[in-house]
A and B are shown apart, each in its own frame.
Chain A
């Protein structure tokens, strides 16, 4: 089965998005979902989505823009609050 591609976008200083990527990859692996990860700045996101065949985008902040693919806020991975729910939602989206 083709691996799903996930874009993780952040502001500058990629500390938080690296954390999110790690949690995302491990959380989905536990649910038997393998993903390919791409990382970019939020300002570049729309271009990345256009050029690559990405399935979803996860941000290190609120989803304030409209993207062509499903978008999620990854902040739950940092606070621990709602982390499982977020993984459930992402899993559901990627399993479609």
Chain B
């Protein structure tokens, strides 16, 4: 199944939280409520983020892509948080460096090789200044969902 679920019930605009753990927990909660992930998911993501951090910086924006193994996931989906203030996540490139990220994509992956195309598009979007500006200036969940559905072709 290549389809990835992205919808407004998995999007947080202007999320006002201070730590990466809080952000991951909040987005995991959304996923769990929608039966997308199992109860074990949130702890697995937090654990993985500690060991293998996921913050990345392109020329346009810094973001994080926390995720974990498919065994904790029921359905492929992406939850998105646009953060009110930047929250520190550790850099994927340098484990000693903290990066203040503006957007977090919590990934629920069921099949890595099938869903790699969507992930590729996600990374490409983050490298595209115009789309990033569109995302950051979105006023509501629907607008954001439209952008993702169009650009990710989900």
Contacts of B70 in A (CB 8 A): 13
**Given A60-B52, A61-B93: A13 and B116 interface contact (C-beta under 8 Å):** no
| A10 to B57 alpha-carbon distance, docked (Å) | 19
The answer to whether B112 and A15 touch across the interface, beta carbons within 8 angstroms, is yes
- Given A15-B107, A19-B119, A75–B56 Cβ distance below 8 Å? yes
Check A18 against B112 for contact (C-beta < 8 Å).
yes
Tell me which residues across on chain A come within 8 A of B115, comparing CB atoms: 15
A15 touches B48 (CB 8 A): no
Chain A positions near chain B (C-beta within 8 angstroms): 10-16, 18-19, 22-23, 42, 60-62, 64, 73, 75, 78-81
Q: Which of A13, A14, A64, A81 contacts B58 (CB 8 A)?
A: A81
Given A12-B69, A19-B119, A19-B123, A73 and B93 contact (CB-CB distance below 8 Å): yes
Chain B residue nearest to A76 (CB atoms) is B93
What A residues does B95 contact at CB under 8 A? Answer: 61-62, 64
Question: Closest Cβ of chain B: how far from A26's Cβ, in Å?
Answer: 10
A79 to B127, CA, bound (A): 7
Can you give 14 A-B contacts (C-beta < 8 A)? A12-B68, A13-B52, A15-B112, A18-B112, A42-B52, A61-B52, A61-B53, A62-B94, A75-B92, A79-B56, A79-B57, A79-B58, A80-B123, A81-B59
Whether B51 sits at the interface, judged by CB under 8 Å, is yes
B65 at the interface (CB under 8 A from A): yes
On whether the beta carbons of A78 and B113 are closer than 8 Å, the reply is no
- Chain B, residues 54-79, CB within 8 Å of chain A (1/0): the string is 10111100000101111000000000
Contact B92–A13 (Cβ < 8 Å): no
Min distance, Cβ B102 to any Cβ of chain A, angstroms? 15
Chain A residues whose CB sits within 8 angstroms of the CB of B93 once the complex forms: 61-62, 73, 75, 79
Assess whether B109 is interfacial by the CB under 8 Å rule: yes
| Residues of chain B contacted by A19 (CB below 8 angstroms) | 116, 119-120, 123
Minimum CB–CB distance from B119 to chain A (whole Å) comes to 5
In the complex, are the beta carbons of A80 and B58 less than 8 A apart?
yes
> Distance (Å) between the CB of B35 and the closest chain A CB?
20
Interfacial chain B residues near A81, Cβ < 8 Å: 57-59
Compute how far the CA of A12 lies from the CA of B98 in the bound complex, rounded to whole angstroms. Answer: 21
What residues of A have a CB within 8 angstroms of the CB of B120 in the complex?
19, 22-23
